[in-house]
Amino acid sequence: MIETKGWIVLTLAFVVLMLLLNLSSFEDKAPAPLLGKIVEDKYDYAMTKMVTKKYNNSGELTSTLTAEKLIHFPGKQQIQLTTPILDFTVSDQKWTMNAEIGTLSETTQELILSPQVIIKNNLNSALTFEELQQKAIRIEVASLNFNLIEQSAYSSNQVKFSSGNWNLTGKGLAIDVNQQTLEILNSVEASHEQP
């Protein structure tokens, strides 16, 4: 009986010690808890199958942002997006930009996309196969910062650009949707494949 009480007291002391160690981890500079990781980033809402649309002053649709999942972190003033897809139009040409993850800053309205960002034009299905091959544009980059207000994008990563039989690679990318410009910034190499 005395031996059993000793084990019970020892077990209770261990449980209390573990609880105290975990509770102390809520302090700012405390070590990580022994029984698991505390979620530091608190979110206030989440949603699935998110769609948001932006219109210009004339009432025309300028862009659509969709995501499989959205999580809002008010402390960081950020929104985390899972599989974001941004569709936008430039001079009657429709474009799609997608990635695995996106982080949207509520203060700067900058959307940071990563990894493996793909930008491509959406062509008219009435074109022939040869026309589609020649007019299709595909841009691949590891990450991209897209400013939703200024409608401009920037990346300092390796870039791969392909259109028709042309392939370009380089380092760094700047896009201005309003000015309709795309620039590969450094170390540009081009190759052309004969059909």
- Residue spans of the domains in the chain: they are 1-38, 45-192
pLDDT greater at residue 1 or residue 166: 166
Q: pLDDT class for 84, splitting at 50, 70, 90?
A: very high
Whole-number pLDDT of residue 102: 94
**Average pLDDT over every residue of 85-92:** 81
Distance between CA 194 and CA 6 in Å, rounded? 85
Q: pLDDT tens for residues 109-133?
A: 999 999 999 999 887 767 677 776 7
**Average pLDDT over every residue of 163-182:** 87
Distance between CA 138 and CA 146 in Å, rounded? 17
Distance between CA 30 and CA 22 in Å, rounded? 10
**Average pLDDT over every residue of 60-69:** 88
What's the number of CA atoms in the CB half-sphere (13 Å) around residue 179? 9
Whole-number pLDDT of residue 186: 93
CATH superfamily membership of 45-192: Lipopolysaccharide (LPS) transport protein A like domain (2.60.450.10)
> Does residue 156 come out as left (phi exceeding 0), alpha (psi in the -120 to 50 range) or beta?
alpha
Are residues 152 and 176 in contact, defined by beta-carbon separation less than 8 angstroms? yes
CA distances from 31 to 16, 36, 83 (A): 18, 12, 34
Whole-number pLDDT of residue 17: 53
Task: For residue 152, list its beta bridge partners.
Answer: 147, 176
